[in-house]
Amino acid sequence: MRQIIYFDHAATTRPFPEVLEAMLPYYSASFGNPSSAYELGEESKQAVEQARNTIAATLNVEPETIYFTSGGTEADNWALRYAVNETGRKRAYEYAEGNVKWDGMSRKHAGLNQTGKWENRRPHIITTVIEHHAILRTCEALEQDGIRVTYLPVDRSGVVNLDALERAVCPETVLISVMYANNEIGTIQPVAQAARIAGRNGILFHCDAVQAYGQIPVDPKRLGIDLMSVSGHKLNGPKGIGFLYARQGIDLKPMLRGGSQEKKMRAGTENVPGIVGMAAAAEISHRILREKIYRETELRNYFFKRLLTEIPGVKINGSTQTRLPNNMNCSISGVNGGALVALLDLEGICISAASACSAGSDELSHVQLAIGNSPAEARSAIRITLGPENTREEADFAADTIRRLVKKLREAD
């Protein structure tokens, strides 16, 4: 295989060698089903529980609060659907019983009829316009089922507006979902403040921490997060594995029904190698976290500075302050981001024009438009995301190549 320089760690990451090493036995000698009664099964079961303990320790939470899923998308779907179906129902009941008081809100305003029946209420979710499609598309589907959704705007720097959040809360609000860090522009959201608003109003708070976990410290209890989604493949772990954190006391309802795996909350034979690999990646990422943040911030700033000073017409997208250490996103005037990505690929350099999930479609990035960029600026945006293995030599080579290719694209125009 040809040598590549990989600068697309927000899309996915290369598993650490130790991750593969940890996984291999569970694809070979230790292939048992964790539900089997004999020793081979017990070995797998213990590996799953050990992985749960390892992951819980990185978050300062109890192991019982971690539910393994197939990834971030499933965890996001679970959190949203759970909150609407179960918590929403409970809230409607409590409201009807008079156990929930809403300042200045009448029953009529809350959408309740005389008996306070659930059928007559439209549960309400608050989220942001810059969420990942795993959240946005689920919200769209919920809207089709009659759920009301408020999509909060962000400012030009890509940070959600908390005043708008306060104003959006109403008696029917069953969930507030705000991502930890954005997958395109890397902006870190005011999660603690948003969770406080949720808590004050007795509303569940969900956070999509897929881009944050393993990149910056994440402490759901301190932040007041009720539900949190994480994915294994963004932190040098395997694909197809992730988890939902559901704080103690949450009466979680099943995502999948069948066997009794994951305390009957997520049925299906466990992805043992994936779970073990994700835990190994989580352990390593957290062990090296401080050094990783320091190295990536330095390298990112150096790389960014080269692009900004050496290429005319480069504009940073998103805050320069509250941003993931490894994220660079900029628009390069007069250059098509997709064309630049394709030319860089020919030179063995991997970056993104938008988030990987919408790459390949002609749709403009909803994040670029949300921060007020014009369609031209959105089309000329590129995302470069660093990982622990990137070096200054790679950054220099990529910066030189980008400068050369931008010139070529501009001359061809």
Which stretches of the chain bind ligand PLP, using CB under 6 A?
Answer: 71-73, 76, 132, 134, 179, 183, 208, 210-211, 231, 242, 357
Backbone angles phi, psi at 161, to 5 degrees: -90, 115
- Min separation Cβ 272 and ligand PLP, Å: 18
- Written as six digits, the tokens of 234 are 């963004």
Q: Which is nearer to ligand PLP, 10 or 399 (CB)?
A: 10
- Min separation Cβ 251 and ligand PLP, Å: 24
> 């509250």: which residue's tokens?
322
Q: How far is it, in rounded angstroms, from Cα 4 to Cα 275?
A: 28
- Min separation Cβ 206 and ligand PLP, Å: 12
Are 231 and 71 in contact by the 8 Å Cβ rule? The answer is yes
- Min separation Cβ 132 and ligand PLP, Å: 3
Q: Which of 351, 329, 331, 330 is nearest to 342 (CA)?
A: 351
Show the beta-strand stretches assigned E in 143-187: 148-152, 173-177
Are 73 and 131 in contact by the 8 Å Cβ rule? The answer is no
DSSP lists the bridge partners of residue 149 as: 125
Q: Which is nearer to ligand PLP, 92 or 384 (CB)?
A: 384
Q: Which is nearer to ligand PLP, 224 or 232 (CB)?
A: 232
DSSP for 324-342 reads: -TTEEEEEETT--HHHHHH
- Min separation Cβ 211 and ligand PLP, Å: 5
Q: How far is it, in rounded angstroms, from Cα 353 to Cα 336?
A: 9
Q: Which is nearer to ligand PLP, 191 or 335 (CB)?
A: 191
Separation of first and last alpha carbons in the chain = 33
- Min separation Cβ 349 and ligand PLP, Å: 20
Q: Which is nearer to ligand PLP, 125 or 335 (CB)?
A: 125
* Active-site pick, 170, 330, 350, 357: 357
Helices (H) and strands (E) in the chain, counts: 14, 12
Helix (H, G, I), strand (E, B) or coil at 69: strand
Q: 357 an active-site residue? A: yes
Q: Which is nearer to ligand PLP, 131 or 226 (CB)?
A: 131
CB-based contacts of 79: which residues, under 8 Å, 6+ apart?
175, 177, 206, 227, 228, 229, 244
* Residues with catalytic function: 357
